[in-house]
Amino acid sequence: MATPGALTAWKMASDGHRSGRGQAAVTAAGRRAAAPASTVLAELLQAAGQEVPAAVALRRELHASPELGGHETGTANRVAAALGEPGAPSVTTGRLVRIGAASGPSVAIRAELDALPLTEQTPVAWASQNGASHSCGHDVHLAALTAAGRAVRRAGGPLPLVAVLQPREEGYPSGAQDLVGSPQLEAQDARAMIGVHVHPHVACGQVSVGPGPVNAAYDEVTITVRGRGGHAAYPHVTRDPVIAAAHVIVALQHLISRRTDPMHPAVLTIATVQAGTAANVIPDHVVLTGSLRTFEPTDRASLRSAVGATAGATAEAYECTAQATFKQGEPVLDNDPALAAAVAAWLAQAGFQVVDSLRSCGSDDFAYYCPRYPSLMMFAGVGQPGTPDAPGLHHPSFLPREEAVEDVARVMLAGYVAACSVVLGT
Ligand SMILES: [Zn+2]
């Protein structure tokens, strides 16, 4: 694990960093420089503190005028301008803002641009009125990244920072797929990708971070059960797909409880059932949709196969048919062990208690960065003690307190410094 004391050879904003001469030049410049890395983070945190009032005001502004996935141009323009680069390159409706040397290795931090199609239910004067809502905290992430980026611009840093303003985190196809492999992001020469998400299940003052998988792989399933419709008074001349679908739902429940290693987290949820149009008509088909969440690649493959086989065989017992189709979603969000180990000391220096409490079958499209870059997702606590029933992520009343902007900025800077330490090998 890297510690502040182990990093003694950085110089803030050295001439070498700004020269754009590539990794060798950057590394040499970093190593010959003088400032201890613990000082680097301290100076960045102090600089970020000066940016906080403007960042809190920006958070309110973004919160009041949220934009849905695929329509985030105004948000992206506003944040790019706040970061001092209104002409920063675009990737679909996203933006990439680079701070520091124009070329050579960098560290990237992702923040999401999009809001949810929810009618906000909070009492603040700056609540959204347009039918969309930042009920996942992305407004906080954007404002925090602005403070962190401006701090690096103000105080300098061991490597350039690339603010990845990513579209469509909440929708499909995921916006992260726009960026991964894009020429614009490849040109940034990012050597690490950092993400921070506010989380109400983690207490204020804590950050949950750990190595390896922290979020599940996600697939959507649609099962179509077909029978033969007819008059509800004459079921014997029909093949009722509603009865068959009901048994399919029940039969699928054994796939996690009896066909999956109990030490492997997995969830199969059937969430929608659509059938029929009248109380006295047996329909000819039923459509079920749901989600499969897994951590092990072998479980992902075997459960997809088992869902189709179980649905088909069960429906057949009722002289119906069932066909399952899958839409593949995010891979597992797999934190890089070196980054996870390195960041702990920096988070402690920034005043946070580090825990490894939050691993869930939730999903985030940050996972798409993990196969391409050493990546690290951290969950910044916004939970208040004694309020277990407080609104959670995606609830129309979810509203992290304003101090979360500075907290997330400090977590981002700790992640940035940790990533620099790993990339520079110090
Ligand atoms: Zn989110």
Q: How far is the CA of 291 from the centre of ligand 1 (A)?
A: 18
Q: Is the pLDDT of residue 275 over 80?
A: yes
- Across all residues in the chain, what is the average pLDDT? 91
What spacing in Å lies between the alpha carbon of 90 and ligand 1's midpoint?
A: 21
Q: Is residue 365's pLDDT more than 50?
A: yes
pLDDT at 18 over 80: no
**Mind listing the pLDDT tens digit for each residue in 279-336?**
999 999 999 999 999 999 999 999 999 999 999 999 999 999 999 999 999 999 999 9
**Phi, then psi, of 228 in degrees rounded to 5:** -135, 115
Banded model confidence at residue 38, pLDDT cuts 50, 70, 90: confident
Tell me, in angstroms, the distance from the centre of ligand 1 to residue 197's CA. 7
Question: pLDDT at position 27, please?
Answer: 40
Question: What's the 228 CA to ligand 1 centre distance in angstroms?
Answer: 43
Q: Tell me the C-alpha to C-alpha distance, in Å, between residue 235 and each of 44, 227, 246, 280, 284.
A: 73, 12, 16, 11, 12
* pLDDT given at position 101: 95
Tell me the CA–centroid distance for residue 215 and ligand 1, in Å. 13
**Tens of pLDDT along 243-254?**
999 999 999 999
Report the alpha-carbon distance of residue 300 to residue 303 in Å, rounded. Answer: 5
Cβ(207)–Cβ(411) below 8 Å: yes
* Residues pairing with 217 in the sheet: 294
Residue 86 and residue 286: Cα distance in Å, rounded?
50
pLDDT of amino acid 16: 36
Whether 404 has a pLDDT exceeding 90, the answer reads yes
pLDDT digits (tens, 9 = 90+) for 342-353: 999 999 999 999
Whether the CB-CB separation of 54 and 142 falls below 8 Å is answered with: no
How confident is the model at residue 171, as a pLDDT? 85
Tell me the CA–centroid distance for residue 302 and ligand 1, in Å.
29
Q: Which long-range contacts (CB under 8 A, 24 or more apart) does 56-61 make?
A: 56/143, 56/402, 56/405, 56/406, 58/82, 58/142, 58/143, 58/146, 59/139, 59/140, 59/142, 59/143, 59/402, 59/405, 60/126, 61/126
Please state, in angstroms and rounded to a whole number, the distance separating the CA atoms of residues 52 and 173: 33
**How far is the centre of ligand 1, averaged over its atoms, from the C-alpha of 365 (Å)?**
9
Query: pLDDT by residue (tens digit) across 177-196?
Result: 999 999 999 999 999 999 99
Handedness of CA 250, 256, 260, 263 (dihedral sign): negative
Q: How far is the CA of 80 from the centre of ligand 1 (A)?
A: 20
Residue 412 C-alpha to ligand 1 middle, in angstroms? 16
CA–centroid distance, residue 196 to ligand 1 (Å) = 10
Q: What is the DSSP string of 318-330?
A: TT-EEEEEEEE--
Cα 262 to ligand 1 centre (Å): 29
Share of the chain above pLDDT 90, in %: 88
Q: Measured in angstroms, how far is the CA atom of residue 397 from the centroid of ligand 1?
A: 15
Share of the chain above pLDDT 70, in %: 91
pLDDT in tens, 217-236: 999 999 999 999 999 999 99
* Band (36; pLDDT cuts 50, 70, 90): low
Average pLDDT over residues 70-80: 97
